[in-house]
Amino acid sequence: MLKEFKEFAMKGNVIDLAIGVVIGAAFGRIVDSLVSDIIMPIIGAILGGLDFSNYFVGLSGAVNAPVLVEAKKQGAVLAYGSFLTVAVNFLIIAFVLFLVVKAINQLKRTKEAEPAPPAPPAEDVVLLGEIRDLLKRKTV
């Protein structure tokens, strides 16, 4: 059983998948930082210095804190600013993946579009052609 597991784990596809997951996690952190530290502050500055991370609606009367972290301690909140940030993260990741898939598909199409070099004729076809040519010369 251990031998079978080792063979499975060492197959190329499993290792490729593991590498993809690690790279994907790192890419997710980069996108999170891009959205949280660059894009959302710029949008906030354009809209008058708004901080989207603290956009929320208290769902109970006990919630009166101006900051989301404190408001969550007081009761249930609808944190739509956090949702907006996550939605922007998703859109960026989806767009990047779209570009990657588009590039891969374009590479596949260019490989398919290239005509394959003509295959050399088989030996029997060459031999039959030579026989035909000899018979033509003999009858002329």
What's the confidence (pLDDT) of residue 138? 83
pTM of the model: 0.55
Instruction: Report pLDDT digits (tens) over 24-63.
Output: 888 888 888 888 888 878 877 887 766 677 888 998 888 8
What letter represents residue 44's amino acid?
Answer: G
Residue 49 CA from chain centroid, whole number: 33
Q: Give average pLDDT by consecutive 10-residue segment, the chain, 140 residues.
A: 77 76 87 83 77 83 88 91 84 84 84 76 88 84
Cα distance between residue 27 and residue 38, in whole Å: 16
Cα distance between residue 13 and residue 2, in whole Å: 19
Residue with tokens 């009367």: 61
